């Protein structure tokens, strides 16, 4: 790789993993072909396969952080960031394959000192459909993936009002200014998974940092086309994040409280009817309890998901749950 120039910021790429060696191998092979220098940091959440041994044998230049347990996404992301010292922290899922100019393009918007995060364009396998171009939130702080399922051409008009306005990057592929992450204290480790990217986006915006969407920076999210029905464990984790953020941001004390309460009641009832278990309810109650006694967070003025009414939100949630054909935007919360 060419040497870094004075204008090129240093980059740490943090990849939390829990098994899935073939995905990790492909991800690292694509990173090795990048046009700018970087440090790859793989954080192993006690992989049940031989990921650790293969990393050390096949990718000796990769920095490895072994957590010793499945510590969750947020803790792994923080540990990976702490293992480096670069100006930029790029967070990647191990099933994301980056184009060769991905990192070089992602770094460019950070020339603006007000930019705290950049959202690249994630594509579904085949490259014809969008998997994500960042996230948005509705007035109840329900998180939606921006432009998911839309044709790639839609990304070109995303910043001209053809898509809901950007709140922050999607957790599967996100670039952050290290100083911005450090200012807000990194990812909230109380959230095991689901909702941590929304929380960071809200706190970065509240601290005055800008988020930028960059359709030119492209990667394929190999797992992005597999919606399917979530397991009870996943639905419980998603419910935890939802309950925790509802309480931490005081949503039920604000103007959106009636809509939020009705939405959560319908979602929990639907989960019970379809899955025959109370995973979504258990998760929400656990998250609500976890958010008690903590300093409240104020949701900053933010772009809301325009054009997504109450009924449309429920329809999109149901489509996500049963793995049906999906239109954009697309929900991340169960």
pTM of the model: 0.90
Inter-residue contact 197 to 181 (CB < 8 Å): no
Q: Which pLDDT band holds residue 327 (cuts at 50, 70, 90)? A: very low
Per-residue pLDDT at 320:
57
Distances (CA, A) of 261 to 29, 78, 232, 241, 318: 46, 32, 22, 16, 17
Answer yes or no: is pLDDT of 95 > 60: yes
Per-residue pLDDT at 331:
46
Per-residue pLDDT at 325:
36
Per-residue pLDDT at 323:
45
The total number of residues shown for the chain amounts to 334
Q: Which pLDDT band holds residue 308 (cuts at 50, 70, 90)? A: low
Higher pLDDT, 236 or 137: 236
Closest listed residue to residue 283, CA positions, set 234, 240, 318: 240
Per-residue pLDDT at 100:
98
pLDDT in tens, 97-122: 999 999 999 999 999 999 999 999 99
Answer yes or no: is pLDDT of 182 > 90: yes
pLDDT in tens, 150-179: 999 999 865 545 567 899 999 999 999 999
Residue linked to tokens 């807000």 = 184
Answer yes or no: is pLDDT of 229 > 60: no
Q: Which pLDDT band holds residue 318 (cuts at 50, 70, 90)? A: low
* Domains (range + CATH), the chain: 11-221 (3.90.550.10), 232-331 (no CATH)
Answer yes or no: is pLDDT of 252 > 50: yes
Burial class (CB in 10 A: 0-12, 13-18, 19+), 304: middle
């Amino acid at each position: 790789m060419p040497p870094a120039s004075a204008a090129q910021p240093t980059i740490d790429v943090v990849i939390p993993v829990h098994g899935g060696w073939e995905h990790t191998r492909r991800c690292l092979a694509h990173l090795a072909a990048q046009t700018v220098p970087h440090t790859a940091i793989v954080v192993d959440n006690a992989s049940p396969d031989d990921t650790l041994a293969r990393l050390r044998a096949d990718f000796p230049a990769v920095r490895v952080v072994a957590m010793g347990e499945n510590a969750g996404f947020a803790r792994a992301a923080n540990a990976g960031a702490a293992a480096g010292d670069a100006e930029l922290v790029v967070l990647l899922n191990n099933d994301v394959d980056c184009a060769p100019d991905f990192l070089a393009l992602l770094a460019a918007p950070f020339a603006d000192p007000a930019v705290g995060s950049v959202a690249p364009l994630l594509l579904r396998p085949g490259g014809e459909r969008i998997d994500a171009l960042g996230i948005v939130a509705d007035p109840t702080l329900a998180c939606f993936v921006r432009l998911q399922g839309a044709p790639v051409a839609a990304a070109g008009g995303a910043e001209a009002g053809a898509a809901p306005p950007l709140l922050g990057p999607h957790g599967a592929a996100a670039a952050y200014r290290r100083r911005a992450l450090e200012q807000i204290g990194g990812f909230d480790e109380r959230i095991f998974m689901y909702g941590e990217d929304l929380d960071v986006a809200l706190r970065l915006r509240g601290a005055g940092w800008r988020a930028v969407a960059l359709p030119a920076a492209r990667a394929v999210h190999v797992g992005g086309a597999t919606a399917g029905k979530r397991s009870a464990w996943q639905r419980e984790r998603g419910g935890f994040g939802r309950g925790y953020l509802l309480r931490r941001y005081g949503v039920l004390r604000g103007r959106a409280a009636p809509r939020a309460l009705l939405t959560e009641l319908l979602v929990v009832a639907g989960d019970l009817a379809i899955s025959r278990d109370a995973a979504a309810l258990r998760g929400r109650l656990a998250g609500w309890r976890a958010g008690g006694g903590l300093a409240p967070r104020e949701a900053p003025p933010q772009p809301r998901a325009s054009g997504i009414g109450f009924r449309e939100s429920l329809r999109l949630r149901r489509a996500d749950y049963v793995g049906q054909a999906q239109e954009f935007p697309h929900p991340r919360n169960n």
